[in-house]
Amino acid sequence: MTHTGDVSPDEFRAVAHAAVDWIAEYLEHPERVPVKSRVAPGDIRAALPTSAPIHGESLDAMLRDVQQTLLPGITHWNHPAFFAYFANSGSYPGILGELLTAAINANGMLWVTSPAVTELEQVTLDWLRQLMGMGDGWFGQITDTASISTFYALAAAREAAGLDVRARGMSGRSDMPTLRVYCSEHAHSSIDKAVIALGLGHDNLVKIPADADFRMRAGALDAAIRADIVKGYRPIAVVATVGTTSITSIDAVPEIAAVTKMHGCWLHIDAAYGGVAAIVPELRHILDGVDDADSIVVNPHKWLFTPVDCSVLYTKRPEALRQAFALLPEYLVTRGQDDVVNLMDYGIQLGRRFRSLKLWMVLRAFGADGIAERIRNHCELAREFAGMVHYEGGWELTAPVPLSLVCFRYAPDGASEDRIAQLNADIMERVNARGLTYLSHTKLAGKYTLRLAIGNIRTAREHVELAWRELRDAAAIVSAM
Amino acid sequence: MTHTGDVSPDEFRAVAHAAVDWIAEYLEHPERVPVKSRVAPGDIRAALPTSAPIHGESLDAMLRDVQQTLLPGITHWNHPAFFAYFANSGSYPGILGELLTAAINANGMLWVTSPAVTELEQVTLDWLRQLMGMGDGWFGQITDTASISTFYALAAAREAAGLDVRARGMSGRSDMPTLRVYCSEHAHSSIDKAVIALGLGHDNLVKIPADADFRMRAGALDAAIRADIVKGYRPIAVVATVGTTSITSIDAVPEIAAVTKMHGCWLHIDAAYGGVAAIVPELRHILDGVDDADSIVVNPHKWLFTPVDCSVLYTKRPEALRQAFALLPEYLVTRGQDDVVNLMDYGIQLGRRFRSLKLWMVLRAFGADGIAERIRNHCELAREFAGMVHYEGGWELTAPVPLSLVCFRYAPDGASEDRIAQLNADIMERVNARGLTYLSHTKLAGKYTLRLAIGNIRTAREHVELAWRELRDAAAIVSAM
């Protein structure tokens, strides 16, 4: 056969083999590179040509450029001492899955355009559901990020309110009450973005005060909803969080579910980071009450060793998602397959990568026990680190440690809040600049707080101990400045 | 060093090398498998365990399962005789890029969390902009699909209308006029979905009649907008299409831009499939007038040999996207980098794969000339096929062929519309079931029409000729039934 050509198979073979060897070498020793990139803004851009080549170049040259030119501009999420934000892991089975996904390059927009894409996604998400101890009756789909998963959930909630927003919209309608959504003051910014994007208005996202342990209070939620109803507002949805971003606090889902049920609101659970911890038998309780929710998001690309991107949205009411999104133009009509799931009906995206393959491989490669062991180990390391902080003079924990994140800070006796904030910002900057470990920060009730988030599959005790040495050394230096 | 472990590097090396060899072999002979999967609904699911394993399994077993169990459930978008929907290609450089993206596994949510992710994305999209002959002043970002790109563009348009939808929303506001959006009757369903998701209401998407060549008429658009203004509606955006999904017709962007400018509407261009054809010098005119638009979407994962997913949204008004979406919670604040682009500010998603790597590799591997040659060749093949149809008795073209898609049908003399629709549906079903080639269909002004969409990098004349033989053979058989 003739073709107009591609890169030659032999060139691909040679460079892909070299890439595989480089990847294995890189992932065996990710601690050899500085965890946080040291380039200045514009450095990478300046090192690259300003326009595409006229003639084709060799794959070999590109692999070299990745290694030499781009790698210094990478902040290494693979580094075992990456403790910023929420650490993640692109594990070997996940990388293999992505390689095969790219090669097969199926678009699973309809069942018929690759039945295995739809069916493996459904099977894999059912496996994951069982692993987390959730009951039957959940419909799962993969999206790219938790932000999109939550956006879809709230779009379904808006439609389920029975105001025919789909057809008639919300603008220019005298019969349209002000719709309101509720979440914890510690909920993730993706809730804000979803409410804004849906046209509900940021002012109509009500932030409910948390208790001393940073958990959304069901009583305060109920009171807020009642007050809004009195004002003529229409409460449509509540988002509870299992593992908040700043502190991994866990909202009291069972009590919150009772409130949402009473008021007829959609209950969405943001368990993007924390949800997978329920795979550990003794942590299963973190998802207590979730089976009474309408939807939940968990992100395998955070703490489940799956390369970004991979977020999972489960719902008990898939028909509400269909009602919000399904549309069938003639060019997508298929004959004789009326009973199959076409995943395009459950969201905005039409094109769909074979995203489940990597997750399926991760679940199989580690197995239920292997996953639980690794997540359990992360939580143990977090408790050990918390212990070190707790018993060290001048340092304090700023929140409980229910999972694998520790919130803490350097707070020498007598220092003002402002001074403490400055000291900790300086400590973090110094530690991160040294390149051996990487942390991030937050503020809790006005208190500047450091965060040590354990979630990388290669993180061991030595890396946590290293971070602790780095922090104390930096504290000694910045205190003396 | 110790770690809690992953799959061993040696196991990864061995299986990833085997996967690379298998991929090269599969892509050298993608025509050996039936293009359209022959499994029945539920077959793949039934072949898989109903729950995850307790203990880890070998990568080797998974690779075998992909080849033996899943592959029969794949409809092969890699097949050179894939002519359905819009064909795509996961070319070798794109596959290599995905492999490295998964291994590096950076999350480019902020510039600092991997500067190379943000900067390579900006450099690569600037290359692509130049290749398509677009002027300066465009800000690009990669999203997963055109549906999301268009959704973002219309979200920016909604905010740019100056009604403070971000803060106040649209519900329960007596000062909120009915907002309206306009597109061709042949526009893609992603426009409908975006309008629905934004809470504007499907009823407020006005479909403008097209001319005899299926192009949106600027005069009809202007009249519709004026009529709506008289009724008190507020026109906010128009979507013009360069390469519609059913027929690849090209709306008259310069005239439409004059209308949107006059009425102060946001102009978004949906060039998801067609836009990249502007890389061919003699086709550059398809983007005439686009520099007067506010935003445009093009999809490298369609006709630019890049694995799914990869959509590009360009806008001249990035500040409008920021106004619609930017939010900075404390846990994402970075110090001393106020001047950098943080891509999370331009959309809903926070997490961001290193998606530009594959596109950068594709542009480099083929070069401007290599890309143009391949797209030009696809258009030539489409014209040749159209010629065969045109000169064959009993067959007819149902639309012009501006790019690489041919709309046609079997229409024997004297057959009724109903009979023709049935014949063509039967022809398509028969041809697709044989597994040598795969086509899809649409309806144009009520006429059932077949579509032959050329876009796979391996498609050559022999595959187009094969499709034509298959179609005529099938027509002879179904006519006689």
Closest C-alpha to A250, from A224, A222, A271: A271
Q: Do B340 and A198 touch (CB under 8 A)?
A: no
Distance CA A241, CA A100 (A): 34
Locate the chain B residue with the closest alpha carbon to A34: B114
CA B301-A66-B148 angle, to 5 degrees, is 30
| Residue-level pLDDT at B4 | 45
Complex-level ipTM: 0.96
pLDDT at B7: 84
Q: How far apart are CA B239 and CA A116, in angstroms?
A: 34
CA distance B386 to chain A (A): 20
- Low-confidence residues in chain B, pLDDT < 70: 1-5, 336-338
Task: Indicate the residue of B2, B105, B112 with minimum beta-carbon distance to A308.
Answer: B105
Nearest to B197 among A61, A98, A155 (CB): A155
Distance of alpha carbon B205 from the chain centroid: 21
Which of B25, B148, B171 to probe the A interface (max A CBs under 10 A)? Answer: B171
Tens of pLDDT, residues B200-240: 999 999 999 999 999 999 999 999 999 999 999 999 999 99
How confident is the model over B81-121, as pLDDT tens digits? 999 999 999 999 999 999 999 999 999 999 999 999 999 99
Closest CA to A76 of A26, A21, A29, A37: A37
Beta strands in B17-110 (DSSP E): none
In whole angstroms, what is the distance from residue A79 CA to residue A94 CA?
17
- Fold that domain A107-353 belongs to in CATH: Aspartate Aminotransferase; domain 2 (3.40.640)
Nearest to B13 among A24, A91, A147 (CB): A24
Tokens of A459: 């993180």
Q: Provide CB contacts within 8 A for A132, sequence distance 6+.
A: A275, A276, A278, A279, A284, A287, A298
**Does A363-480 carry CATH code 2.102.10.10?**
no
Shortest Cα distance from B283 to chain A (angstroms)? Answer: 17
The DSSP line for A215-249 is: PBPHHHHHHHHHHHHHTT-EEEEEEEEBS-TTT--
Does a cis peptide bond (omega within 30 degrees of 0) precede residue A251? no
Distance between CA atoms of residues A425 and A34, nearest Å: 20
Q: How far is B160 from chain A (nearest CA, A)?
A: 13
Task: Give pLDDT tens digits for A324-365.
Answer: 999 988 888 887 666 899 999 999 999 999 999 999 999 999
Question: What is the distance between the alpha carbons of residues A98 and A110, in angstroms, rounded to a whole number?
Answer: 21
Per domain, the residue ranges of chain B are 9-74, 107-353, 363-480
Q: Do B199 and A203 touch (CB under 8 A)?
A: no
Joined together, the tokens standing for residue A205 give 């996202």
* Interface with chain B: mutation pick from A1, A4, A438, highest number of B CBs within 10 Å: A4
- Reported as type and span, the H/E element at residue B20 is helix B9-28
Which neighbouring-strand residues pair with B266? B237
Instruction: Give the model's pLDDT for residue B331.
Output: 81
Q: Hey, what are A276's tokens?
A: 């997978």
Amino acid code (one letter) for A431? V
Contact B75 A325 (CB under 8 A): no
* Buried b / exposed e along B436-474 (16+ C-beta atoms within 10 A): bbbbbbbebeebbbbbbbbbbbbbbeebbebbbebbbeb
pLDDT value of position A5: 54
Positive or negative: CA dihedral B210, B214, B216, B218: negative
| Among chain A residues, CA nearest to B426 | A335
HSE of B131 in the Cβ direction (CA atoms, 13 Å)?
Answer: 32
Compute the nearest-CA separation of B461 from chain A (Å).
8
The answer to whether residues B134 and A91 touch, using CB atoms and an 8 Å cutoff, is no
A114 vs B37: CB contact, 8 Å cut-off? yes
Q: Contacts of residue B27 in chain A, CB cutoff 8 Å?
A: 6, 9, 12, 103
Tell me whether the omega of the peptide bond preceding residue A309 falls within 30 degrees of 0, making it cis: yes
Q: Which of A170, A304, A457 to mutate to test the interface with B (most CBs of B within 10 A)?
A: A170
Report the alpha-carbon distance of residue B467 to residue B36 in Å, rounded: 14
Counting Cβ atoms within 10 Å, is residue B336 exposed (0-12), middle (13-18) or buried (19+)? exposed
d(CA A72, CA A35): 10
Report how far residue A333's alpha carbon sits from residue A330's, in angstroms, rounded to the nearest whole number.
5
Q: pLDDT tens digits for chain A (481 residues)? A: 334 457 899 999 999 999 999 999 999 999 999 999 999 999 999 999 999 999 999 999 999 999 999 999 999 999 999 999 999 999 999 999 999 999 999 999 999 999 999 999 999 999 999 999 999 999 999 999 999 999 999 999 999 999 999 999 999 999 999 999 999 999 999 999 999 999 999 999 999 999 999 999 999 999 999 999 999 999 999 999 999 999 999 999 999 999 999 999 999 999 999 999 999 999 999 999 999 999 999 999 999 999 999 999 999 999 999 999 999 888 888 876 668 999 999 999 999 999 999 999 999 999 999 999 999 999 999 999 999 999 999 999 999 999 999 999 999 999 999 999 999 999 999 999 999 999 999 999 899 999 999 999 999 999 999 999 999 999 999 998 8
C-beta atoms of B52 and A367 within 8 A: yes
Instruction: Flag if A11 and B55 touch (Cβ within 8 Å).
Output: no
pTM of the model: 0.97
Question: CA-to-CA distance for B37 and B42, rounded, in angstroms?
Answer: 13
B116–A74: do the CB atoms touch at under 8 Å? yes
**CATH topology match: A107-353 vs A363-480:** no
Does the structural domain B9-74 have CATH classification 1.20.1340.10? yes
Q: Do A439 and A428 form a contact (C-beta atoms < 8 A)?
A: yes
Q: Is B211 helix (H, G, I), strand (E, B) or coil?
A: coil
